[in-house]
Amino acid sequence: MRVSNAIILCIALIAGLPQLALAATPAPKATSPAPVGFGMVKHYNNADHVDPGTAIDKKTSPFFPSRATTGPKGKVTSDMFEQPEVCGGCHVDMYKQWKGSMHSNSWSDPIYRAALNMASKGTDGAVDNLCIGCHTPIGLVTGEATPKGDKMSKVADQGVQCEVCHNISDSNGVGNGAYILTPKLHGRKLKFGPFKDAQSPYHDTAYSELHTKSAFCGQCHNVSHPFNNLPVERTYDEWKDSWYAGQNITCQDCHMTPGPGVTKNPGKATPFSKDREQIYTHFFVGGNVLVPTLLGSKMHADLAEEMLRAAATIEIMPKKSLDTKGIQSVSVKVTNVGAGHKLPTGFPEGREMWIDLKITDANGKEVYRLGKIDHGHTEKGTKSFKVVLGDKDNNIVHLELWNADRVLYDTRIPAKGYSVVDYQFMVPEGTKGPLKITADLNYWSFPQNVLEELMGKDAPIVPITEMATTSVMVPMGASGLPVASNE
């Protein structure tokens, strides 16, 4: 009974609350009209943090269409930068590793310079800064670099060097040269790097977390068409979408080590520095054998071949037998086992990996082949791994990238991925077995005919790297698994 009375009392009090509240609230003045409908509310720009990937305008990107800036420094001159040889006075090993690398030759590379001149003429200079910005950053921000390259200081002429990477204090994002290059940021020599306790008798030091991230490399190793946003090169994005990014294995962990599979490199940054568990090398090895060979650095060419040969495996799928009755088939599997991005990656006009499949009889006579070089390119029907860009009419674009606005097809292999390709052919009557099937996985930086189109009589001979090879013996018209011979 007491509970019921308490409930009734509570209900009565609650029911009376609105009346009490209304009684305590003064009535609104007759001159204050009640709000009618809904209005516009001004909100802050909430898209500033979204990376556009390309330069927006000359106001935010003074070297448009490059995204590079010089931060608070404003105008930058070449005398604000040291020569690489000065850095090499202390960083002896790193300088030797860098000299002859693709970074050191990024501006002097004759193939790049020919492509730059073609692009400059084809666009009336509209893309000059974009192309120059990642091949001579100092040349860009000082205003010294032009496609001719005839009025450049020595320091600007040396490509991507010590004073480029270690004067980058921040980033505008990923792609199209989005670095912030600030020599003598506080009026003194200040170098940015991956160590929190680095000290130098010659310059100030600052720890830069950016230098430990793949995004540092992504500032240049993602390229978009500056006027239609077409993804031209996506090495950074390919890595970001891969297993390697998930395991926090960075670009530096593969391309700044003594060689494939080497994960630790203890040592010193200078002869008088402290011992460290990890010193990153400065070979900057990739897949380019052609340019180091052309410019006289056999060491870097050999390192590039070593990396290519650690990137992929090739396997001929088991086949019980072949015969002369009807269409025969063979399948080949290529696996990307060593590249943290698509294989191949980079420059779409040139990079090509392909299978050269050969079948010979018991006497060594060729029964079938697909994948040979014909007039400077892989023959029609070759199983190639590459990306092909197109123009507005779906025509293939080879060198005139400014005309490209779409990806026509992309057969490259993602990191940790594989591709199985099929071959169909006829075996001539009277063929004597067993048959030997050989599959070579080859790579070149440029097809020979594309380079000849670009450089004419000055075009060098393009080396072909055999990345992997395998062969099997298959009986004619008999059962039983083939005898494998992985070479």
- As to burial, measured by CB atoms within 10 angstroms (0-12 exposed, 13-18 middle, 19+ buried), residue 307 is buried
- Show the CA angle centred on residue 228, arms to residues 222 and 233, nearest 5°: 20
Phi and psi at 48, nearest 5°, equal -60, -30
Q: How many helices (H) and strands (E) does the chain have?
A: 14, 20
300 in Cβ contact with 100 (< 8 Å): yes
What residues pair up with 233 in beta bridges, in sequence order? 223
Q: Are strands 204-207 and 190-193 parallel, antiparallel or unpaired?
A: parallel
Task: Give the fold, CATH level 3, of 311-485.
Answer: Immunoglobulin-like (2.60.40)
User: Nearest Cα to 141, choosing from 109, 183, 108, 190?
Assistant: 183
CA angle 142, 235, 306 (to 5 degrees): 100
Give 254's Cβ-side CA count (13 Å radius). Answer: 22
Under the phi-then-psi rule, with left for phi > 0, alpha for psi from -120 to 50, and beta for the rest, what region is 21? alpha
Which of 207, 211, 186, 188 has the alpha carbon at shortest distance from 198? 207
Element of type H or E holding 23: helix 2-24
Label residues 319-342 b or e (16+ Cβ within 10 Å = b). bebbeeeeebebebebbbbbbbbb
| pLDDT tens by residue, the chain, 487 residues | 444 444 443 444 334 444 434 344 455 555 556 667 899 999 988 887 889 999 999 999 999 999 999 998 789 999 999 999 999 999 999 999 999 999 999 999 999 999 999 999 999 999 999 999 999 999 999 999 999 999 899 999 999 999 999 999 999 999 999 999 999 999 999 999 999 999 999 999 999 999 999 999 999 999 999 999 999 999 999 999 999 999 999 999 999 999 898 989 999 999 999 999 999 999 999 999 999 999 999 999 999 999 999 999 999 999 899 999 999 999 999 999 999 999 999 999 899 999 999 999 999 999 999 999 999 999 999 999 999 999 999 999 989 999 999 999 999 999 999 999 999 999 999 999 999 999 999 999 999 999 999 999 999 999 999 999 999 999 998 433 444 444 4
The C-alpha atoms of residue 98 and residue 338 are separated, in whole angstroms, by 23
Domain locations in the chain? Answer: 71-291, 311-485
Distance CA(305)–CA(341), nearest Å, equals: 17
Give me the helix-helix angle, 448-455 and 110-123, nearest 10°: 60
Cis peptide before 33 (omega within 30 of 0): no
**Residue whose pair of structure tokens reads 């018209």 in the numeric block:** 477
